[in-house]
Amino acid sequence: GTAARDGEPRSGGPADSPFVRACRREPGPHTPVWFMRQAGRSLPEYREIRANVPMLESCRRPDLVTEITLQPVRRHGVDAAILFSDIVVPVAAAGIDLDIVPGTGPVVAEPVRTAVDVERINPIGRDDVSYVDEAVRLLVAELGDTPLIGFAGAPFTLASYMVEGGPSRTHAKTKALMYGDPELWHALCARLAEVTLAFLRVQVDAGVSAVQLFDSWAGALSEADYRRYVLPHSAHVLAGLNEAGVPRIHFGVGTAELLGAMGEAGADVVGVDWRTPLDVATRRIGPDRAVQGNLDPAVLLAPWEVVEGQVRRILDQGRAAPGHVFNLGHGVLPETDPEVLTRVVALVHELSARPAA
Ligand code: CP3
């Protein structure tokens, strides 16, 4: 940063931003806010740019990735950008034939169910995802003091898509493999963990200020099974970033019973969905980690008075945590009015503003 003038706070770039400070449990000027799926279908400018470009292709074009990632930053004034990509991008780069089908999600041509299938998941390096490396570098240059969040899917959530062949409500085939052939299960998760770690390292090396590990579907498991079948693999990913020095956010949905374990896996920040109040979550997670969350995305469809009340409640409950990053409990719903998102950002900033020291 440049030398501080008298009375002016020193600008330390994204590492000194309200978002990164909250992740590190350091005080800041206000509670930072960003939204999962802030780049996406709630924005008309996103729908326009994506009109004739398939999802995976858009993730492989650095010009489009850069523009789409910046759209919600410009529009909403959020405290962080999240890289536009998808959790299946590195798995496709690892050699698995898959597509992202509009309205459905990831669909895998030949589901992964045998030892031979697991061998089809190749290790990846920077050259396999050079478009991500390039997009992150372009974004870091554009964003200035605004931090960029990198991300990847956690082994369990990726394994579910690979084994089921697509989205699943019950994760039945995934669990059948996990319980029926634990050795194969661990081999699959170990492969996916290496792909995820390599993908995150590319993003860190290119300059992201934080990473989020999405284990969206981990809430399908009991705590005992999570600890036995999943935690070691996610912990391997998170520990592999120890030297990187960037905050690690660990997120899942329906994880009330798993919050402690997800923190222990090696997170600096634990993502919480709307089912668990942040003060309760903080008791489960402990004093050594910040929390992120946790407005129900459906509340954004309610009258503004309701939204405002819920935002106030979440900020109050978040004061119990040693650090709070405001977010939704899951991704923005496509039918959300983007003006409501912009108002939420302003409201969070206004209600949480702390006088300069
Ligand atoms: O703004 C952001 O959060 C960054 C972009 C992002 C996308 N996917 C873009 C996307 C992120 C972080 C993801 C992660 C992701 N992808 C997860 C974990 C987060 C979560 O929501 O739990 C999961 C489970 C996926 C798999 C996936 N990809 C699903 C379930 C879907 C939705 C399918 C649909 O059409 O309803 C996708 C597609 C996808 N990923 C879209 C976007 C913007 C929609 C694609 C489109 O515009 O047609």
- Catalytic residue check, 289: no
Q: What pLDDT score was predicted for residue 11?
A: 66
Q: Provide the pLDDT confidence category of residue 357 given band limits of 50, 70 and 90.
A: low
Name all residues whose Cβ lies below 6 A of ligand 1: 36-41, 50, 55, 82, 84, 86-87, 100, 102-106, 151, 214, 216, 331
Q: What integer is the mean pLDDT of 126-144? A: 98
Q: Beta strands 248-251 and 210-214: pairing type?
A: parallel
Q: Backbone dihedral region of 290: left (phi > 0), alpha (psi from -120 to 50 degrees) or beta? A: beta
The residue whose CB lies within 8 Å of the most ligand 1 atoms, and thus the one to mutate among 87, 96, 151, is: 87
Determine the atom of ligand 1 nearest the C-alpha atom of 101. Answer: 35
3-class secondary-structure state, position 214? strand
ipTM surpassing 0.95: no
Q: Provide the pLDDT confidence category of residue 318 given band limits of 50, 70 and 90.
A: very high
Give residue-wise pLDDT tens across range 205-220: 999 999 999 999 999 9
Q: In whole numbers, what is the pLDDT of the chain averaged over residues?
A: 96
Q: Kindly give the distance from the C-alpha atom of residue 351 to the centroid of ligand 1, in angstroms, as a whole number.
A: 30
- What residues are paired with 106 via a beta bridge? 100
- Catalytic residue check, 50: yes
Asked if residue 40 belongs to a known ligand binding site, the reply is yes
Number of C-alpha atoms within 13 angstroms, CB side, residue 85? 30
Q: With 80 as the cut, is the pLDDT of residue 1 above it? A: no
Determine the atom of ligand 1 nearest the C-alpha atom of 46. Answer: 47
Asked if residue 79 belongs to a known ligand binding site, the reply is no
Give residue-wise pLDDT tens across range 270-303: 999 999 999 999 999 999 999 999 999 999 999 9
CA nearest ligand 1 atom 8, residue: 86
Determine the atom of ligand 1 nearest the C-alpha atom of 167. Answer: 30
CA nearest ligand 1 atom 30, residue: 105
> Sign (positive/negative) of CA torsion 284, 260, 177, 94?
positive
Give residue-wise pLDDT tens across range 147-183: 999 999 999 999 999 999 999 999 999 999 999 999 9
Number of C-alpha atoms within 13 angstroms, CB side, residue 196? 31
Q: With 70 as the cut, is the pLDDT of residue 10 above it? A: no
What span, in angstroms and rounded, lies between the C-alpha atoms of 278 and 316?
9
CA nearest ligand 1 atom 38, residue: 105
Q: Provide the pLDDT confidence category of residue 356 given band limits of 50, 70 and 90.
A: confident
Which residues, in sequence order, are CB contacts of 179 under 8 Å at separation 6+? none
Q: Kindly give the distance from the C-alpha atom of residue 37 to the centroid of ligand 1, in angstroms, as a whole number.
A: 7
CA nearest ligand 1 atom 21, residue: 331
Cβ-count burial 67-96 (b if 16+ within 10 Å, e if not) = bbbbbbbebbebbbbbbbbbbbbbbbbbeb
- Catalytic residue check, 169: no
CA nearest ligand 1 atom 29, residue: 105
Asked if residue 16 belongs to a known ligand binding site, the reply is no
Q: With 90 as the cut, is the pLDDT of residue 6 above it? A: no
Q: With 80 as the cut, is the pLDDT of residue 332 above it? A: yes
Q: Kindly give the distance from the C-alpha atom of residue 88 to the centroid of ligand 1, in angstroms, as a whole number.
A: 9
- What residues are paired with 214 via a beta bridge? 153, 251
Nearest C-alpha neighbor of 93 from the set 64, 60, 128, 59: 128
Asked if residue 161 belongs to a known ligand binding site, the reply is yes
Which residues, in sequence order, are CB contacts of 284 under 8 Å at separation 6+? 256, 259, 260, 276
Give residue-wise pLDDT tens across range 190-200: 999 999 999 99
Q: Could you tell me if 201 and 243 are in contact, meaning their C-beta atoms sit under 8 angstroms apart? A: no
Structure tokens at 284: 């489960």
The residue whose CB lies within 8 Å of the most ligand 1 atoms, and thus the one to mutate among 86, 88, 89, 211, is: 86
Range 42-271 has CATH code 3.20.20.210? yes
Q: Kindly give the distance from the C-alpha atom of residue 27 to the centroid of ligand 1, in angstroms, as a whole number.
A: 32
Q: Provide the pLDDT confidence category of residue 12 given band limits of 50, 70 and 90.
A: confident
Q: What pLDDT score was predicted for residue 155?
A: 98
What ranges do the domains of the chain cover? Answer: 42-271
For the whole model, what pTM was predicted? 0.96
Nearest C-alpha neighbor of 255 from the set 297, 210, 284, 218: 218
Nearest C-alpha neighbor of 270 from the set 228, 321, 223: 321
Q: Kindly give the distance from the C-alpha atom of residue 352 to the centroid of ligand 1, in angstroms, as a whole number.
A: 29
